[in-house]
């Protein structure tokens, strides 16, 4: 599985921890789209870049982080074909995959700790979409 990952300064430390986890799994190829420090940058640039990588098929899924996860998820969701779920716990990550077939995950580096972020990432990658009635709803979103 190919995973694109990006962040702003508020999500930098969380992104680095998640990236290390992804690289340790052995079953994913990671593309880091930045930022590469905790120096202040604008999150829309990074959210859009990651979303475009997923929407174009360059990546199977994307993970984005900012301070809260809110701004970068909004930026990602502006790209056609993206369903970016903001998750603060494992149950949310499982349900955004099962029910929403989310192709991107957003998290907040100022909201969750690194251990929680890794657990959320694991759930996001390892949970399958249930289809069925949920597909009808995805079709309405994509409409």
Q: Catalytic residue among 7, 50, 65, 66, which?
A: 66
**What is the β-pairing status of strands 61-66 and 29-32?**
unpaired
Nearest to 138 by CA among 100, 110, 109: 100
Nearest to 33 by CA among 53, 55, 57, 60: 53
84 annotated active-site: no
134 annotated active-site: no
Q: Which residues contact 114 (CB under 8 A, 6 or more apart)?
A: 13, 14, 17, 18
Catalogue the active-site residues. Answer: 66, 99
């Amino acid at each position: 599985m190919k995973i694109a990952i990006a962040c702003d300064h508020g999500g930098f430390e969380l992104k680095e921890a998640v990236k290390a986890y992804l690289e340790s799994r052995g079953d994913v190829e990671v593309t880091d789209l930045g930022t590469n420090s905790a120096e202040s940058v604008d999150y829309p640039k990074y959210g859009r870049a990651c979303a475009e990588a997923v929407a174009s098929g360059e990546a199977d899924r994307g993970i984005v982080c900012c301070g809260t996860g809110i701004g970068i998820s909004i930026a990602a969701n502006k790209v056609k074909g993206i369903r970016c779920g903001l998750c603060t716990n494992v149950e949310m990550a499982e349900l955004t995959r099962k029910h929403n077939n989310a192709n991107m995950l957003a998290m907040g580096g100022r909201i969750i700790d690194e251990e929680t972020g890794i657990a959320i990432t694991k759930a996001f990658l390892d949970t399958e979409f249930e289809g069925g009635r949920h597909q009808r709803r995805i079709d309405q979103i994509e409409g």
